[in-house]
Amino acid sequence: MFEPIKNRYEFVLFFDVENGNPNGDPDAGNMPRIDAETGLGLVTDVCLKRKIRNYVDIVKNGIEGFDIYVREGSILNNQHMKAYSALDIKPESKKLPKNEEDARRVKAFMCKHFYDIRTFGAVMTTEVNCGQVRGPVQINFARSIDPIVQQEVTITRMAVTSVKDAEKKDREMGRKHIVPYALYRAEGYVSAHLAEKSGFTKEDLELLWQSLTNMFDHDRSAARGKMATRKLIIFEHETALGNASAHSLFDMVEVSRKDLIRPPRAYSDYKVTVNMAALPAGIKLMEK
């Protein structure tokens, strides 16, 4: 039986995109997300968690304890019924079991069975109610280091949609939205206190680091261009409570441009450094 993690962690993730759309905004015609005031690019936490889920599903496909709760096309009530069926408990519409022990067992099953629930948590208060779980792992929106340029590129398709279209034209036009290049920074947290409640283990943590490092290699598409994790910086605390504030650790990680005259077009145009002199006692730094 694996034990929940005993240490607190924070991490900083750097990833980049070249000639692609890392996270389109459906309210803006699927243009790359942007901070309207600063011009910096954004990638939501939901987008990053989706890539982590997909990677875990590939690596642990079919292995008990690593099922994915939020997957494309899944029906959440059916996911919840897995707990009631396995525990031979009859669900009551929109309510947890009246017996407190049964309610605890239902929630514990969901955490044990689904990797993303014991990692990110979930609100499972639907028609088939499995309660709520606060996940130990949380990720902020990723933000680009420099303002991005949203480009709309016209593309053509040599085929047409219908016979009627073929009578009028021999090709169709389309649009593709890209960022020529951007380096993004995301920051995240891992709580040992919440890990104890959800059952998030050291094995789960290593799988998280593996996912953050490799997730873009299994998420290729024509729309996303070339994306890659460039650096993962991890701060491990000696204790569950922690030995320093998260923001002070994040401030240690600095990014600078090597050439301020021309726009950045590669990761090599940046320099990522960690101020090791400011590393507090009781903190271990790891890089992947």
Q: What is the pLDDT of residues 10-32, one digit of tens each?
A: 999 999 999 999 999 999 999 99
**Domain assignment of residue 68, given as a range:** 9-153+176-287
Tokens standing for residue 92:
């009551």
Tokens standing for residue 256:
């600078």
**pLDDT for position 164:** 75
Residue 254 domain-assigned?
yes
Quick check: helix, strand or coil at residue 276?
helix
d(CA 209, CA 212): 5
- Give the helix, strand, coil percentages of the chain, each rounded to 5: 30, 35, 35
CB 223 within 8 A of CB 176: yes
Residue for token pair 């939901």: 46
Residue 230 domain-assigned?
yes
pLDDT tens-place values along the chain, 288 residues long = 579 999 999 999 999 999 999 999 999 999 999 999 999 999 999 999 999 999 999 999 989 999 999 998 889 999 999 999 999 999 999 999 999 999 999 999 999 999 999 999 999 999 999 999 999 999 999 999 999 999 988 888 777 777 776 667 766 677 899 999 999 999 999 999 999 999 999 999 999 999 999 999 999 999 999 999 999 999 999 999 999 999 999 999 999 999 999 999 999 999 999 999 999 999 999 999
Residue 164 domain-assigned?
no
Question: Which of 137, 76, 83, 89 is CA-nearest to residue 112?
Answer: 83
- Regarding pTM above 0.85, the answer is yes
Domains identified in the chain, total number = 1
Q: Which pLDDT tens digit goes with each residue over 52-103?
A: 999 999 999 989 999 999 998 889 999 999 999 999 999 999 999 999 999 9
**pLDDT for position 159:** 77
Task: Name, in order, each residue with C-beta under 8 angstroms of 259's C-beta and a sequence gap of 6 or more.
Answer: 269
Give the DSSP H/E element, type plus range, for residue 55. helix 45-59
Residue 270 vs residues 14, 38, 208, 252, 261: alpha-carbon distances, Å: 11, 20, 26, 16, 13
Question: Which of 153, 170, 148, 152 is CA-nearest to residue 161?
Answer: 170
Residue 170 domain-assigned?
no
**pLDDT for position 30:** 93
**pLDDT for position 161:** 73
Exposure string of 206-233, with b = 16+ CB inside 10 Å and e = fewer, is ebbebbbbbbbeeeeeeebbebebebbb
Residue 165 domain-assigned?
no
Quick check: helix, strand or coil at residue 116?
helix
Residue 124 domain-assigned?
yes
Amino acid at 13: L
**pLDDT for position 168:** 72
Bridge pairing between strands 129-134 and 121-125: antiparallel
CB 133 within 8 A of CB 111: yes
Residue 166 domain-assigned?
no
Residue 71 domain-assigned?
yes
